[in-house]
Amino acid sequence: MPSAQTAVLSLPRAVGRSVIGSLAHIGRFSLLLAELFRALVEWRIWLPRTMDEARNIGAGSLFIVLLVSAFAGAVTALQTGYQFQGNLPYYVVGTLVVESIVLELGPVLTALVLAGRIGARYAAELGTMRVTEQIDALESLGRSPMSHLIIPRVLAGLVMIPVLTIFANAIGVLAGWWSAKQVLPLSNADFTYGAQFYWRPFDAYYSIIKAFFFAGAITLIPCYMGFNAQQGAEGVGKATTTAVVATSVTILILDTLLAKLLLHP
């Protein structure tokens, strides 16, 4: 039976272990970033791989990103129309659809979808490479895993995820416009009037800035998790799950922080 002293010490021990574990993650993540920046000089290696990866992310994710964004736009328009029917002028639907999609739903939903699609893939790929010693093999050949594996994935994400977000915004707005017209006596002129009424060019920049930060989380966190995966298939599974959860939470935290910093400085 555990003594009273052991029971009293168990909580601080658990907290201590958790703090040390978190600090170790921060340390390893910082080292990965430092290695990544150092390996940027090896552009001959990472450039062609980045192109392949960018094609993979762009073409492979376009359909699901557009699908999600189209439904988000349509539902936003339908619910806005329902809530404001008889209370506010219909052009408000245009305002709400455009602002909701561009400021929030376009970048966040795209990021969450890609966290599952790309993040899980990166963590599983790199985790498998780690446990099957492919990463060790790369190092044993005197080659940098950063320039061969990490930089192409991160750069491709940083370029392609904002591009996908722009497409998602456009399709979301168009789907909302079309849906609103199906259920409300709303003309094209009403919708565009509402869309432009509260529109600020910064809204578009804000959307892309968010997408860029989300891209950092979607690529770096899963790459880090996969790169440090251990203990066989179980380790790869754990790395993949942790990567998706951690990336999704980071996206939501970044979303709030960026809203505070950029919209209410």
Partner 1 sequence: MIELRNVHKRFGQQVILNGVDFSVEEGETVALLGPSGTGKSVLLKHIIGLIHPDAGTILVDDLNVATLGRKQLAALRSTIGYVFQNGALFDSMNVFENIRLGITDAKDNRNAAYCATRVPECLALVNLAPEVADKFPAELSGGMRKRVGIARAIAGKPKYLLYDEPTSGLDPVNADIIDGLVKHLAQTLGVTSVMVTHDVRGAFRVSDRVALLSDGKIVLQGTPKEFLASADPRIKAFLERDFDSHSFAA
* Binding region for partner 1 (CB under 8 A): 38, 44, 129, 132-134, 136-144
Compare residues 90 and 227 and give the one whose CB is closer to partner 1: 227
**Cβ of residue 142: shortest distance to partner 1, in angstroms?**
4
Query: Minimum Å distance from CB 231 to partner 1?
Result: 12
Angle between helices 43-84 and 151-183 (to 10 degrees): 20
Nearest to 127 by CA among 232, 265, 261: 232
**Toward partner 1, which CB reaches closer, 38 or 260?**
38
Question: Closer to partner 1 at the Cβ: 144 or 250?
Answer: 144
Q: Which of 133, 134, 156, 152 is nearest to 39 (CA)?
A: 152
Minimum distance from CB of 96 to partner 1 (Å)?
A: 45
**Ramachandran angles phi, psi of 97, nearest 5°:** -60, -50
Rounded distance, CA 34 to CA 180, Å? 49
Contact 183, 252 (CB under 8 A): no
* DSSP H or E run through 128: helix 120-131
Question: Minimum distance between the CB of residue 63 and partner 1, rounded to whole angstroms?
Answer: 23
Q: Looking at beta carbons only, is 139 or 234 nearer to partner 1?
A: 139
